Amino acid sequence: MKQLLIASLIFVACGAALAKLPTPVLSDEAKAKALEAAAKTAWSGKVDAYMLCKSQDKVAALYFQSAKSAGKETPPPVATAPCVDPGPFVSPPA
């Protein structure tokens, strides 16, 4: 019981100490790094979506091919947006 009380007091003290710290002032270089990291993350998300789209198209094609070879009737494929390749990463302008 004492250990739980001590741990909770330490937790509250740390929270109070962090609450009193001023917000950090970012230099221009740090801001540029943050912008580049955000751009790289967004590009990475687009690449992931592109790869997912391509794999879904491949699986759908295999499904229709196997259904056709087995003599099963399949509904017509649903029209979806084409997969868009995001291209290589381009760093944002400074």
pLDDT over 80 at 9, yes or no: no
Domain that holds residue 57: 28-74
67, part of any domain: yes
Are 56 and 50 spatial neighbours (Cβ–Cβ below 8 Å)?
no
pLDDT above 70 as % of the chain? 90
Domain total for the chain? 1
Q: What is the pLDDT of residue 16?
A: 66
To which residue do tokens 């879904």 refer? 56
Prediction pTM value: 0.66
Q: Considering only CA atoms, which of 59, 47, 67, 70 is closest in space to residue 80?
A: 59
pLDDT over 90 at 83, yes or no: yes
User: What mean pLDDT comes out for the span 15-43?
Assistant: 83
- Provide the CA 58 distance to its chain's centre, in angstroms: 22
- Strand (E) or helix (H) holding 29: helix 28-69
13, part of any domain: no
For residue range 52-80, list pLDDT tens digits in order. Answer: 999 999 999 999 999 999 999 998 888 98
